[in-house]
Amino acid sequence: MARFSKMQVMCAAKETGIVPVFYHGNLEIAKEVVKACYEGGIRVFEFTNRGDFAHEVFGELVKFAAKECPDLILGVGSVVDPGTAAMYLQLGANFIVGPLFNPEIAPVCNRRLVPYMPGCGTVSEVGKAQELGCDVTKVFPGDVLGPKFVKGLRAPMPWSNIMVTGGVKPEEENLKGWFDAGVTCVGMGSNLFPKDVIAAKEWGKITELCKDALAIAKKVRNK
């Protein structure tokens, strides 16, 4: 069962502005990364459903975070069908993210009052997702659609809460472009988790990367 309410998830995502997106099949490495991000100020973390037995790793991460990172809101990404969503909800996911919009997932999440953040690539998809109760919609792939899409979408639909993933970098110009366009938060993957850093188990560097990204986000949003 989710430890955090839908309102808590949305508020934390909006307040911090950065949602790390990460997957690793090794539980101990996943724990270290989650802890490093938490120490860097991250409060919403997306573990992606991208490998065999990912759900087993996630289930243990939920238990780990409850003890070691009590304020961390842990959710799951790369969910494309309702059965997978239901499984992760049973494991304690606080939110469900998808690369696409599957209308059948919405009622599964709504029944538990857990946010479903589907990947949308058109204004019509965003509108339909909102109609089915998705308070936050994910614009994906961000590197293809770009900030202009977000700005154009929010002109006639200013109530939209948008998370963008893909094409997001921990750089001032990049983040300023997205937040100026009107996104609520951004998902960030490989730029926070360089392969060489993971291989060397330099967890302190991940903490610093998170701190720097959060600082940049705060700076560009306060302008």
Q: Is the pLDDT of residue 175 over 80?
A: yes
Above pLDDT 70, what percent of the chain? Answer: 100
Kindly give, in sequence order, each residue whose CB lies less than 8 Å from that of residue 211, ignoring residues fewer than 6 positions away.
40, 41
Q: Which of 94, 110, 10 has the alpha carbon at shortest distance from 47?
A: 94
pLDDT at 223: 62
- Res 171 pLDDT > 70: yes
pLDDT digits (tens, 9 = 90+) for 102-115: 999 999 999 999 99
Predicted confidence (pLDDT) at residue 62 exceeds the cutoff of 90: yes
> What mean pLDDT value characterizes the chain?
97
Strand order in the sheet with 116-117: 116-117, 96-97, 73-77, 44-48, 18-22, 185-188, 161-165, 136-139, 119-120
Class level of CATH domain 6-222? alpha beta
Triad 106, 112, 115: Cα angle to 5°: 55
Write down the residue that tokens 């239901």 correspond to: 86
Strand partners, 117: 97
How does residue 168 score in pLDDT terms, banded at 50, 70 and 90?
A: very high
User: Is residue 161's pLDDT more than 90?
Assistant: yes
What pLDDT does residue 18 have?
98
Q: Is the pTM higher than 0.75?
A: yes
Taking 90 as the threshold, does the pLDDT of residue 222 lie above it? no
**pLDDT for res 32:** 98
Asked if residue 192 has pLDDT above 70, the reply is: yes
pLDDT tens for each residue of 129-156: 999 999 999 999 999 999 999 999 999 9
Average pLDDT value for residue range 61-79: 98
Closest by CA position to 90, among listed 99, 98, 82? 82
- Percent of the chain surpassing pLDDT 90: 98
pLDDT score of 174: 97
Closest-CA residue to 114 (of 86, 90, 95, 131):
95
Beta bridge partners of 186: 18, 164
Compute the radius of gyration of the chain from its Cα atoms: 16
Burial class (CB in 10 A: 0-12, 13-18, 19+), 125: middle
Please compute the mean of the pLDDT values over residues 90-99 and round it to a whole number.
98
